[in-house]
Chain A
Amino acid sequence: MNVQFFVPSSAAGSDIGSVLRGAAGGKVLAPFDPALVDFVTAFGKSILLDRESRNYPELVVLANFFRPANIARLKNELAPQGGAACLARGLVFHIAPSNVDSVFLYSSLLSLLCGNVNLIRISRGAGPQLAFVLDKLARTLEQSGLADRFFVVTYEHDDAITSLISSYCHMRVVWGGDATVRKIRSLPLRPTASELCFPDRFSAAMLRAEAVGGLEAAALDELCSRFYNDAIWFAQQACSSPRLVAWIGGAEECAAARQRFWQAFDQVLQRKEYENTPGMAMDRLVTACLAATEPSHRETAALQFPTRILLDSEPLAAVKHYHCGNGLFYEQCFGAVPEFLRTMTDQEQTLSVFGYGAQEMALSLGELPMRALDRITRVGQALDFGYIWDGCNLLHAFTRRIDIQL
């Protein structure tokens, strides 16, 4: 079977079957075993110390996430409770999205810290950022003595290989579009294995019109800068990037706040160098045209960057699937928070909020339809990674409890 090993370097040319037999026959380490913590810290450091990392801001964020103080905090999260012992799950098979994003590194490194053996499938031919990361991983692994616990491989889409790995692993983690998740889910796992899937999601920002209207110029500019970071950084392709802006307030209040906010946002854009390719412009135009045919379409408020489309205050339905990111926002206005929350579906992931406090939000969550919404953050933190992702505590998911009643 044609499986190419990128990491560790010692595994180059190995046979996937024998690696799987070896990995499944090994032992787990205790969660946050010092050797694991040392490796992950060293990996983070090696990124920060290399000047080339300045070209990859998302890797700098990743490295900072795995700094020693934060790892200590994660360790506390997993502190044993009651009489149950906490152990790693075993062999974890991670499937990264085809356009590799740093997010799969978070989950696979967390899984490693939890004591698991990890095998990660990435797509072939990814860019310089991935080459940079793989090089750092290989070097750090070589010095750590953990080379048999972290494998990064690639292979052409092949159900036979995916099935083979799935028959060995104790847990499968799938990042990818709905089609990928559906496809992988059709391939059986060991009966005792568990699975985590991270499919397509949709995220929104919710802004209180009254609060935006009352901001001083400097504070408004800061809000717009934070919103820029959430939405424009990765051309709106991250699943937690807001694609909808929901305004809460009276009709006139919302209209005034919208005008004020987008004017200030244009000022921010003028200071930034953001990506706006012809391909992105064409995608936005197509989305704008498709959205215009929907009954909920009210007006296309702006066609250039960003494209803005005002929709009626009803569930987004089909129009959601027309959204392609790339600097396009749907806008809706609602009289109150519950009205907006009630329009959500199981597709909604992150809600980045301005003008409401944690308690207020917590009180409104009862309005949510089943399975809707996984995360509420402040505007500016939509892209931050947390160990609770898509509503799931990854530290818990990557470990198991052995209940001891003696």
Chain B
Amino acid sequence: MSYYDHFAELDFDRPYALPAADKQRLFLALLNELTAHHARHSAPYAKIIASLGQPLVAARMEELPFIPVRLFKHLDLLSVPRSEVFKTLTSSGTSGQSVSKIYLGRDNAAMQTRILGSIVSSFLGKQRSPMVVVDADNILADRRQFNARAAGVLGFSMYGKDIAYALDPDMALKMEALEAYCAKYRETGIYAFGFTFVVWKFLCQALERSNSRLDFGPGSILIHGGGWKKLADESVSNEVFKARLLERAGLRRVHNYYGMVEQTGSIYMECEHGHLHTSNYSDVIVRDPISFKPLPAGQEGVLQVISLLPYSYPGHSLLTEDVGVLLGEDDCPCGRMGKYFHVHGRLKSAEVRGCSDVRQF
């Protein structure tokens, strides 16, 4: 029996259906299996969790071993033979030069696609909708720049049809084409996808600058992700983001998602009440940013993200450098089961001082 056979217990059509008690039972069994697998097949991973004094078998979710997500920038972490690596995902992080390397086996990559589909479809519906990608129309053409953004566009494009790109290669809004597209599909319901800052800068602000409007229609939905940092720098809140997009582009339902290349697939979607949700495939624990002890709901800390998906690399339990707060579990007014939370931003990195500096002159 292969690891992913366990997923048969879960209903792909209902990715937010597991109540806490069932989830804890299933997750502990699967995650302990993953920990054992990774410790057996990744020597660095085994050494790391042994050195941290973390138990190999967790009796409670809080005991599950975790490693800092930054390690993927420094170490080659994989739990399958290199010959079984089907593709390698990379991402440049905020720390600049170093890049995360995520090694995917064929099964693992396929399951990422499947779970992403399960989650996204629960918002979009089963039928493929006409889709607008808010990005440059050549983003998939240039394979040399096939980065995390392009991978995201490709991944999310699987749930749309008759795909139109909102921007030209210079990131300018293709106004006429978009107007025609909206006119054609307004009543059908348009699915738009883009990276948060691209949507903000090249769709919303571009419309505002030219004092023009679009109407994606009453059935429209926007899914966006990739981080708030650039918008937070401009003090743009989620509420402002949504209000201005509604006003300028007529985008009715706007859903952010939180996710990272280290746990592709099991993303955390924002519900109708503005809460990010764990799914049947993911969990989150908020930890004290100094002692790393688990924190109850309502207290801000660093986020530990847990995913059932990572099998070819030891990424099932990661301590991120994102700060957030747990809001509750199984009782969000949207009706979805699972924990729901907010992300507040990045951990403030330690100051570099003294006579050596790390910034390039």
> Which residues, 167 to 186 on A, are CB-close (under 8 Å) to B?
175-180, 183-184
Chain B residue nearest to A304 (CB atoms) is B291
Name 12 extra pairs, CB < 8 A, besides A282-B289, A305-B290. Answer: A97-B356, A175-B355, A178-B356, A183-B361, A276-B290, A277-B290, A277-B348, A279-B347, A282-B302, A282-B321, A290-B75, A303-B52
B93 on interface, CB distance cutoff 8 Å: no
Cross-chain contact B350 with A288 (CB below 8 angstroms)? no
Q: Does A71 contact B (CB under 8 A)?
A: no
The reply to whether B68 and A235 contact each other, CB–CB distance below 8 Å, is: no
Task: Kindly list the 8 A-B residue pairs having the minimum CB-CB distance in the complex, ordered from nearest.
Answer: A278-B289, A237-B354, A292-B51, A279-B350, A98-B357, A180-B361, A237-B353, A293-B44
Contact B71 A290 (CB under 8 A): yes
Q: Does B48 contact A (CB under 8 A)?
A: yes
The verdict on B74 contacting chain A, using a C-beta distance below 8 Å, is yes
Cα distance A281–B359 in the bound complex, in angstroms: 21
B 140-178 to A, binary, CB cutoff 8 A, 1 in contact else 0:
000000000000000000000000000000000000000
Interface size range on A against B:
35 or more
Task: Write out the residue numbers on chain A whose beta carbons fall within 8 Å of the beta carbon of B75.
Answer: 290, 293
Q: CB within 8 Å of B: which of A199-215?
A: 199-201
Chain A interface (Cβ within 8 Å of chain B)? 95, 97-99, 101, 103-104, 157, 175-180, 183-184, 198-201, 234-235, 237-239, 241, 276-283, 285-286, 288-293, 297, 299-300, 303-305, 324-326
Contact status A234-B354, CB under 8 Å:
yes
Out of A103, A200, A279, A303, which one reaches B351, CB within 8 Å? Answer: A279
A360 and B104 CA atoms in complex are apart in Å by 57
Which residues of B from 299 to 352 have beta carbons under 8 Å from A? 302, 319, 321, 323, 347-352
What residues of chain B lie closer than 8 Å to A303, measured between beta carbons?
A: 52-53
Tell me if B47 counts as interface (CB < 8 A to partner A).
yes
Interface residues of B (CB under 8 A from A): 43-44, 47-48, 50-53, 67-68, 70-71, 74-75, 289-292, 302, 319, 321, 323, 347-361
The answer on a CB contact under 8 Å between A239 and B48 is: no
Closest to A383 in B: B354
B47 contacts A293, C-beta separation under 8 Å: yes
Most buried by A among B44, B289, B291, B361: B361
| A283/B361 in contact, CB under 8 A | no
Specify which chain B residues have a CB less than 8 angstroms from the CB of A99 in the assembled complex: 351-354, 357
Contact status A183-B360, CB under 8 Å: yes
- Determine the distance from Cα of A321 to Cα of B230 in the docked complex, in whole angstroms: 31
Residues of B close to A280: CB separation below 8 A: 350
- Binding site of B, secondary structure by majority: helix, strand, loop or mixed? loop
Instruction: Check if A198 sits within 8 Å of B68, measured CB to CB.
Output: no
| Residue ID in chain B nearest A283 by CB atoms | B350
Contact between A288 and B51 (Cβ–Cβ < 8 Å)?
yes
With the chains together, A291 CA to B75 CA distance in Å? Answer: 11
- Docked Cα-Cα span, A241 to B356, in Å, equals 12
| Residues of B close to A305: CB separation below 8 A | 290
A98 CB to nearest B CB, Å: 4
Complex: A289 Cα to B47 Cα, angstroms: 8
**Interface residue from A198, A278, A288 paired with B52 (Cβ < 8 Å):** A288
Query: What are 26 contact pairs spanning A and B, CB under 8 A?
Result: A97-B356, A98-B357, A99-B353, A99-B354, A101-B354, A175-B355, A176-B355, A179-B361, A180-B357, A180-B359, A180-B361, A183-B360, A184-B361, A235-B353, A238-B354, A239-B356, A277-B348, A279-B350, A280-B350, A282-B349, A285-B292, A286-B70, A286-B74, A290-B71, A291-B51, A305-B290
CB of A97 within 8 A of CB of B319, answer no
In Å, the complex CA distance between A293 and B357 comes to 26
Instruction: Report yes or no: A285 in contact with B68, Cβ–Cβ below 8 A.
Output: yes
Give the residues in chain A near B321, CB-CB below 8 Å: 282
Minimum distance in angstroms from B32 CB to a CB of chain A: 21
| Assembled-state Cα–Cα distance A25/B74 (Å) | 51
CB contacts (< 8 Å) of B319 on chain A: these are 282, 285
B20 shortest CB reach to chain A, Å? 28
Would B350 and A326 count as touching, CB distance under 8 A? yes
Asked if A282 and B291 sit within 8 Å, CB to CB, the answer is no
**A120 to B349 alpha-carbon distance, docked (Å):** 28
**In whole angstroms, how far apart are the Cα atoms of A235 and B353 in the complex?**
8
